[in-house]
Structure 1
Amino acid sequence: MTFSYRALMGFLMSFFLAITMSAFSPVVSGAPFEPMGFAVGVAVGTILGTVILAAFPLIPLSMKYALRCGAPEGSAGWFLLKDVLLCTVLVFVISFVLTWMVTGMDALFVNRLLAPMPLMWVICYVVAVQVEPLCMAIAGKILRVPLPGAPEAAVQDATGREQA
């Protein structure tokens, strides 16, 4: 997996997860929804997630995690399992930074961070499972690379015959 694919996938996935977290975080925490907080959350979450997914091989590690769990590459189980690691890392890191930015670091910080985390993780996981195929298709189209997990296309030589 190339750096450009990881970076573009990181941007797309982070954008959707940042929107989700910024929209649902106030609801889950019992705080009022504020448009400025939403906009800042989307911007910070997208930038942070893009940097994380571009700098660290989290997407390939997520794919390996799904394989280690016994899901064949490209199967429904593989698609469902690979988002577990990705969502866990992104939701925790983005939540940590946004909670720190909005509420500051004090004695109740850990409680404010962890109390909504299980529900936020579930919401983000459902969104990630639904938007990841779209993100993969967009990244594949833009960069003209085959989709990870897709069956390998038959390689043809100049005469049009398949090669082994």
Structure 2
Amino acid sequence: MYQYTDQVPARYPDRMSAVDDSARATLQASRALLGVIARSVADALEEVSLPQFRVLVLLAHDGPTRSGVVADHLDIHPSTFSRNADRLVAAGWVVRTEDPDRRGAVRIELTARGLQLVEDVTESRRRAIAEILGAMTSAEREALTAALDDFSRAAGEPAARDLRTLGI
């Protein structure tokens, strides 16, 4: 099993011998946030698979969407998506409707149940983050907010497609 270390493996001699403090702290924080994300979605994954949850997140973000567009956004074959959608429809998470703008085209739309699942995960994530922030002092939260704003600006906004693909 792989054990995380701050040291760069010897097989990469052209790289720095140790990750600098800022990168180390950022990696550590990203792992903590990934833990929050994983815990927030755990209950939902008892109801739906991760690929199905990705579909629900995409539909919650984009609204009713043609099946082919959903498949494209998720980078999966349309027939694979169609089978996935069949299971979501059968379980009551989504419905298929006619696309009023394209005759013969089918859209996928969240049901109230599907939207509630996505909202529950989002709320769970928000509560977990609020709890973590609540353990910090006001000065620490202000410094964190400024640092995260600076980091986000430097990193640039991720493409919405990338976030939807991950189900975030």
Length-normalised TM-score, structure 1: 0.30
Larger radius of gyration: 2
The TM-score with structure 2 as length reference comes to 0.30
Task: Considering fraction of residues, name the structure with more helix.
Answer: 1
User: If each structure's strand is expressed as a fraction of its own residues, which one has the higher value?
Assistant: 2
